[in-house]
Amino acid sequence: MAWLNSHTLTAFRALVRKDLWLWATNRRSVILGVLAPVLIAAFFGYLFDSRRGDGPSRIPVALTDLDGSPLSRQVVAGLQADPALELQPMAEAEA
């Protein structure tokens, strides 16, 4: 790391300081860089908040076991055990 000396670090710090100053003085950059991520995080926090009383929503999944083999029954049992899924068994014609 012979290229890393005090002059290089001084120049790097000056670049970082200049860029941070330019960013902080540009209102649009500050809004997009700080406020937008906070609003997005708050939105997703509201969507996935489990304290609202309605609990986590379950994803409806249509299920048709055409094989009927022991392996496919194991897969179906595993899917039924998943609390995030709401399995809806269907005939082949319905699916």
Distance CA 77, CA 67 (A): 14
* Domain coordinates in residue numbering, the chain: 1-50, 58-95
pLDDT per residue, tens digit, the chain (95 aa), is 566 777 888 999 999 999 999 999 999 998 899 999 999 999 988 877 766 666 667 788 999 999 989 999 999 999 999 888 889 988 888 87
Strand segments (E) across the chain? 59-63, 85-89
pLDDT of the residue at 22: 94
C-beta of residue 90 within 8 angstroms of C-beta of residue 64: yes
| Unique residue bearing structure tokens 């649009």 | 28
Q: How far, in whole angstroms, is CA 40 from its chain's centroid? A: 11
